[in-house]
Structure 1
Amino acid sequence: MNSEKLVPVIVDALEEIKAHDIDVINVSKITAMFGYIIIASADSTRQTKALANNVQEQVKAAGGKVYSMEGEQTGEWVLVDLGDVIVHIMLPAVREYYNLKALWSERN
């Protein structure tokens, strides 16, 4: 499944479990490792885990592949690796501290 078809599936999965501040960043011009980074915020560690699980389920149901998931033990920052799309689901304080949006957006 290509990233153009995958991104809407991911965004829908995040919105379904009430993620907020969802940012989709096209990074294909600055790295060959992946095409998109999606960053979303959650209100609790329980919600980050639920969001990550829903993303996995919806991507698999759409025919995509999930390569790995990291951070589900603590739930403050969960990363879902979907190959050409990397999803970061973070608590607001963690998201503010690491500021991935600014890091990747400044490079565009």
Structure 2
Amino acid sequence: MQTDQLITLVLSALEDMKARDVVTLDVAGKSSVTDCMVVASGTSKRHVMSVAQEVLDKVKEQGIQPVGIEGQGVGDWVLVDLGDVVVHVMMPDARSFYDIERLWSFDADSDAAADAD
């Protein structure tokens, strides 16, 4: 399955489960681990776990085996590694604390300009 198709499948699963504040980050060239990160919030630990499980179920229906899954037993933050796409489903407080969007959406040109000042 192409990366774009996988992202569409993931976004569909997140929408089906009413995940909140879904953001897709293109990290190709910034990370050697993956090309895309999808970050979403859940409304409770149970919701976070259910959303992540729906992502797993949808990709497995398409014959895709996840590379890894972390955090299923806790529910504050579940990471689903699908290779080219990594999905983070988080409680809002964990999402705010780790601020993955800011971390991975840096602009090298603006960072270089800031360092020159």
Q: For this structure pair, what is the TM-score category when the shorter chain's length is used for normalisation?
A: over 0.9
- CA separation in 2, counterparts of 1:20 and 1:62? 24
Give 1:17's aligned residue. 17
* Partner-residue secondary structure (3-state), 1:37: strand
Give 2:2's aligned residue. 2
Alignment of 1:11-90 (within 5 A): 11-90=11-90
Give 2:115's aligned residue. none
* Partner-residue secondary structure (3-state), 2:46: helix
In structure 1, the gaps of 5 or more residues are none
Identity of aligned residues (%): 36
> What is the TM-score with the length of structure 2 in the denominator?
0.87
Give the partner amino acid of 1:49.
Answer: M
Q: More displaced, 96-105 or 56-65?
A: 56-65
In structure 2, the gaps of 5 or more residues are 109-117
Contact 1:6 1:64 in 2 (8 A): no
- CA separation in 1, counterparts of 2:68 and 2:107? 26
Aligned length: 108
CA RMSD in angstroms comes to 1.1
* Partner-residue secondary structure (3-state), 1:89: strand
